[in-house]
Chains A and B, each alone.
Chain A
């Protein structure tokens, strides 16, 4: 019988990497524990370090996100998960004193190249936050916001309907599109935020604990939605919910820190490996709740 690699579908390579630093620093990262893909990579993080006011928050993170899959970033609080995910649509640019070393390739092009336009990047790589943050506008205007300011041509009504349908919200709001978005429940607001992100037809959606403030039913709806959305987009999700990571993500990246308070990627692989037979003892200790 085969071992933990039995669920591999793509041209995946375990035990091989060229992009991860081979030097062992602090807790130590074994490059063999960082899975790589031969092709169809949407986002490639290369030796990425982020500094706030000169102090490193995450250091030398390298891994690849494959197309039309869900990748979960997991790890204890303060390990740098949100810092990492915010790098993918240049949200960290908005923070004073932030410095980014290394690079992220998006469809092969460097996200941090001088000519890269952060606004365009944020349309192509959308983001959904922990707390739903609809604009204090109507349901319709929330979804139409992106296409309007982006000057997208076409039938706006149709775009709004399509986005709301994809976000599994159309049935609940189609007859009250002009109502305030703030009148919706928390779960509906979060799906509206997903619809808003979908309206500009992004290639990637980043989700930073998208169900953390939701009840179990709304959480289930969001998870179902995530599984459906990968038909069209690639999803990177930060979650503290270990069961959620297993339910929605095909791959999981474990970010860990030690007393240095600097986050590093210690293991990346199929979710069934991370939660079944992790290779790094720190991953085992984290997923079984013995460190956090």
Chain B
């Protein structure tokens, strides 16, 4: 006999919709922060900083809803993995929002100071990280476990590509700073910005790993090994 779990399924669907909404807010925040950095648009950067509160609130809301659902339904098996994944994703997305806010703050620090070179590579790396985020969330919404796993696993090579781009940017900025001490301040800020983008990619990879867990029950490593580094923001 089929039982009435419609209400529970509806709750799970609503939680997923909330995660997708949070994902959209975060993606927009990251793109805007990169645009602000590239265009050196302080007004746009200020908007990103202000929007971070919305992101934090949304994460909190999702966590509270998950806690309520866990308390009421005591889910097991696939249902439990789904709620655990939603909880984890809300946390990862909120942190990505923090990195976007960090880039926006760096834009303020840079202000109108002369730069050692035009900002091109960091936004390019950022586009790759945003693409990873999109793929991870797409995998999250894919109902078929095999397809979901395959899409999530596909995020891994992009993470390695972002790590490589970051290494090149780091080396280049180091060289510019070595050549001219005048570049040290702005070079350091740009290094921080690049690091934030690299961390966004790591968080997108974490999301992909959680999605594989939701689909298969297995915890696997999707990306590279260097996702524990912390940075000043």
Q: Note whether A and B form a binding pair.
A: yes
The complex places the Cα of A243 from the Cα of B220 at a distance, in Å, of 28
Whether A276 and B5, one on each chain, are in contact in the complex, defined by CB atoms closer than 8 angstroms, is no
Check if B80 is an interface residue, CB within 8 A of chain A. yes
Docked complex: A253-292 residues within 8 A CB-CB of B:
275-278, 283-284, 287-292
Given A1-B219, A3-B217, A3-B218, CB of A292 within 8 Å of CB of B1: yes
Q: Which residues of B contact A17 (CB under 8 A)?
A: none
A242 within 8 A of B: yes
- Kindly provide the distance from the CB of B20 to the nearest chain A CB, expressed in whole angstroms: 22
Cβ of B75 and Cβ of A288 under 8 Å apart? yes
Tell me which of B2, B3, B74, B80 contacts A276 (CB under 8 A).
B80
Within 8 A of B (CB), among A1-26: 1, 3-4
Find A4's partner among B5, B75, B217 (CB 8 Å cutoff): B217
Chain A interface extent, by class: 10 to 19
Asked whether, in the complex, the Cβ of B78 is within 8 Å of the Cβ of A288, the reply is yes
B76 within 8 A of A: yes
A-B contacts at CB below 8 angstroms, number: 47
B10 to chain A, nearest CB (A): 14
Q: Which B residues from 33 to 80 make CB contacts under 8 A with A?
A: 74-80
Determine whether the beta carbon of B77 is less than 8 Å from that of A284: yes
Residue from B2, B5, B74, B217 within 8 A of A277 (CB atoms): B217
Q: For residue A288, which residue of chain B has the nearest CB?
A: B79
Residue numbers in B under 8 Å from A1 (CB-CB)? 218-220
Chain B nearest CB: distance from A192 CB in Å?
30
| Residue from B1, B74, B79, B81 in contact with A291 in the complex, judged by beta carbons closer than 8 Å | B1
CA distance A288 to B73 in the complex (A): 9
Identify the closest chain B residue to A76 (Cβ).
Answer: B1
Nearest CB in chain B: distance from A241 CB, A: 10
With contact pairs A1-B218, A276-B217, A277-B217 given, residues A287 and B3 touching in the complex (Cβ less than 8 Å): no
> Could you list 16 A-B pairs, sorted by A, with CB under 8 Å?
A1-B219, A3-B218, A4-B217, A242-B74, A246-B76, A275-B80, A277-B77, A284-B77, A284-B78, A288-B5, A288-B75, A288-B76, A288-B77, A288-B78, A289-B3, A291-B2
